Amino acid sequence: MHIVLVEPEIPGNTGNIARLCAATGCHLHLVRPLGFSVEDKYLKRAGLDYWNLVDVHYYDSVYEVLEKYKDNAKFLLTTKAHKRYTEVRYEKDSLLIFGKETAGLPEKLRMEYEDCCVRIPMIAEARSLNLSNSAAIVAYEALRQQDDFAGLTV
């Protein structure tokens, strides 16, 4: 499974997602510009001592990721989607693509991949969930569907 963060802004969220990737074996893809330095103490602290377990890749554009993994299933997480994240079938090497904390994914990207957009249900008054919580929710659903807990301790 691949978790793609498009222009993440908060180091703690990215650190928490890195820790999620380390614990689940997911690959982490970071699309620049990042809203922090990869040397940021909050990023390091959130990831704790798991960074050596994370397979991290950096890109200058989300389209680089999409081109590199053009044959992989893609799921764009957005509050603007109509389909729930539980209503789709994830594949083993799916791309789970998340936008930046303050603005989400770019509208152009959402429109180009409208059929791939999914959302996490929440009450109407809530704007969105925390990025690292959203990544964890969807990653574990994708792994559950793949029965891919085999290499994880239960």
Flag whether 128 is marked binding.
yes
Flag whether 120 is marked binding.
yes
Span 16-36, pLDDT tens digits? 999 999 999 999 999 999 988
Q: Tell me the domain boundaries of the chain.
A: 2-145
Flag whether 35 is marked binding.
no
In this predicted structure, what is the pLDDT of residue 152? Answer: 79
Compute the mean pLDDT over every residue in the chain, rounded to the nearest whole number.
92
Contacts of 29 (CB under 8 A, 6+ apart): 2, 3, 4, 5, 56, 57, 58, 59, 65, 95
Span 51-97, pLDDT tens digits? 889 999 999 999 999 999 999 999 999 999 999 999 999 999 999 99
pTM of the predicted model as reported, rounded to 2 decimal places = 0.93
Four-way CATH pick for 2-145: 3.40.50.300, 3.40.225.10, 3.30.950.10, 3.40.1280.10: 3.40.1280.10
Flag whether 53 is marked binding.
no
Burial of residue 40 (CB within 10 Å: 0-12, 13-18, 19+) is middle
Span 101-130, pLDDT tens digits? 999 999 999 999 999 999 999 999 998 999
In this predicted structure, what is the pLDDT of residue 51? Answer: 81
